[in-house]
Structure 1
């Protein structure tokens, strides 16, 4: 039976990772029985990528390799498509995986208000200790690096329009008329163009290529559901979809109903309390219970480090000294990580106040405030 290792859900989405959700949707619509493990940690994957698919003794990770393995099982959702339709589908999937994903990253990670109010808390709730203090920051840095070619930093025109926006900050949903102005940031222009392209292709059809779902539908649901369902502090993507692209919004809701009704899970998904590590490792054993690990090492090595075992040869003084230094080096390393986390403010509570400075910080990293002030 297939086993799928995937990111768990939050913010009213089945999964916080679009590729994981696309793969799981494909499995369900193919009618394949499977089991799901909510890993919520890319380090559990041999390659550092999720999703991971386990098919008997075969392990594959990453969207492309997982999809190739699923097709090898004989369950090809695109078998009814012509060669021309398959080529078109690749183009639309590329749009979803690049531009539309980048617009999502802009909303989730570049907008500090969304990140601090919604995204980081949701990730921290899913990710096990101690990764929850490190992984969200890493994800944000990768997202912002990916957004560099778009030139997403505030321009003078953006700052002028922000005055108009601030007048409506008291209204969480924001008025539709504000959004219909054309967008105060060029990333919203890009996302509108993407929505328009997808809605035009969909037309009045049930799915993108007629009455039967294809891989494109799975990918579209995986990516667009993260635009539509989360209720964020600034959920402009959802409001744009509802106000300007209602057909596409209804399609996303329809796909969610199909996703839920097509469940082929052989057993209920593990909860946060029951999930187990996939690949036991030295660091995972520390992360699971660092105090218990240290106490065990201490009792084995430090209480009586010179004791010999009955089954093995007596160790030399040099070997014993080496083991003692190794234990203390590991302890020092763990302590250094803790100091780094505290010193760099990775464990902190941030509050964004209303006002000019608070709003501007919503569109660039709050950790870069001091650097930008110095430049000014």
Structure 2
């Protein structure tokens, strides 16, 4: 029995992840429902590579869309969807798949994760509905940070502020911070170019328009002449692996109800063939082939769930989180388990850092406020009366009547008098006459 672990459903789609969607579409068209199960585990840690989608075949794990497709065909578990294709068409499918990952993937990241409005309104609530508490506070932000890193090379960081005119860096900001005496000696540029006149938000919109056009226009051209009602990349087969992968990315451009719907608007207005392709794949390749073989995930053990919480917290720590994430990636790529020397050093460093931070915080809290004078109080010993032995009422009476001192013999010295009566001084004999 095959078990496919994925990120759970969202936006009316079987999964919130593009490669998970593509893998679901492939298995649903290549295998009968009785031979596999679809598990929305929402936990990449179920796979040794810490990646979803992950296929479990009797303990043999494979992660990623292309590796899963190769494993299914090499192990003869199903008839590959690309069997009817020629060698040239298979080469074209591989090239188009690489193009989708390199260009369509960053566009999905820009729409669902980088855009602050789309993230707060649509994407984060979707992840919150999939994850248990308290992972709803830690895991989504980690997923978004990884998506921002993947799309960072596009130079569209302004999307994180959603074209806020007060949030971007303006071209005159450097001159305004200089003193007036310096600014008078700086020559003014009397003639500005079109680029100088544009705000960062306008430049970002133009850049985004160009990226969307370059990616989606190429995909639309590849489908020309392959049917208007049910467009496909190749006519030799109903569904190919390239169709499944393209469906995964294009569906996440079209279906999520995002407030900044620049990708959806482009699909509807500029490339309607791609829009029909998504609807056709969803109707014929997903819902039209019967119900998906959903299976409830096993409840995670307490130790693993606690470890996942600790893992997400460690990844959020400044500086240490980056080293921890790099170490986890290295261990996943090397398929290492258990504790080696590097892991022990990392754990020891984390423990020592935590102890030093805790000690420093406690020492800081114990310090007097800066500039305040140091004051100290010492308890005073008050003489007690015998009335205090009778409880609170006796103490009150003793306070009202004063402290009783026993009379001392005249022969006692001052040290004995101090010991008995608590009075200090010397005994002096005085001859006096009283009239």
- The answer, yes or no, to whether TM exceeds 0.5 is yes
Superposition map of 1:190-339 within 5 A: 190-205=211-226, 206-212=231-237, 213-258=239-284, 259-263=286-290, 265-266=292-293, 268-270=294-296, 275-277=297-299, 280=301, 282-284=303-305
Deviates more, 1:8-17 or 1:220-229: 8-17
Q: Report the Cα offset of residue 182 of structure 1.
A: 11
Structure 1 residue 41 displacement after superposition: 2.0
Which of residues 133, 141, 147 is equivalent to 1:143?
A: 147
Closer/same/farther in 2, CA of residues 287 and 60 from structure 1, 3 Å limit: closer
Question: Retained in 2: the 8 A contact 1:183–1:189?
Answer: no
User: Cα offset for 1:283?
Assistant: 3.5
| Aligned position for 1:22 | 22
Query: How far apart in 2 are the matches of 1:192 and 1:59?
Result: 38
Q: What is the Cα deviation at residue 152 of structure 1?
A: 1.0
Q: Secondary structure at the match of 1:184?
A: helix
Q: Please identify, of 229-238 and 127-136, the stretch whose mean Cα deviation from structure 2 is larger.
A: 127-136
Change over 3 Å in CA distance of 1:235–1:108 after alignment to 2: same
**1:12: Cα distance to partner?**
2.3
Partners of 1:223 and 1:255 lie apart in 2 by 12
Superposed displacement of residue 253, structure 1? 0.3
Measured in 2, the distance between the counterparts of 1:200 and 1:141 equals 33
What is the Cα-based RMSD across aligned positions, in Å? 2.8
Q: For residues 20 and 244 of structure 1, do their structure 2 counterparts lie closer, same or farther at Cα, with a shift above 3 Å needed? A: same
Distance 1:215 1:286, change over 3 A: closer
**Match of residue 4 from structure 2:** 4
Native 8 Å contact 1:39 1:277 kept in 2: no
Q: Number of aligned pairs?
A: 265
Native 8 Å contact 1:44 1:277 kept in 2: no
Q: Corresponding residue for 1:308?
A: none
1:173 maps to what in 2?
none
Residue 209 of structure 2 aligns with which residue?
A: 188
Other-structure match for 1:318:
none
> How far, CA to CA, are the matches of 1:286 and 1:23 in structure 2?
28
> Aligned partners of 1:185, 1:44: CA distance in 2, in Å?
42
Shift of 1:22: 0.5
Question: Secondary structure, in 3 states, of the residue corresponding to 2:4?
Answer: strand
Q: Deviations over 1:145-186 (max 9, x none)?
A: 12221111349xx778x9xxxxxxxxxxxxxxxxxx999241
CA separation of 1:264 and 1:75: change in aligned 2, threshold 3 A? farther
Task: Judge conservation of contact 1:32–1:264 (CA < 8 Å) in 2.
Answer: no
Contact 2:122 2:256 in 1 (8 A): no
Structure of greater relative contact order (alpha carbons < 8 Å, 6+ residues apart): 1
Distance 1:85 1:159, change over 3 A: same
Q: Which runs of 5+ in 2 are unaligned?
A: 168-201, 310-350, 359-435
SS at match of 1:91: helix
Written as runs of structure 1 = structure 2, the 5 A alignment for 1:67-216 is: 67-72=69-74, 73-154=77-158, 184-205=205-226, 206-212=231-237, 213-216=239-242
Structure 1 gap segments, 5+ residues each: 163-180, 289-328, 337-376
Structure 2 length normalisation: TM-score? 0.56
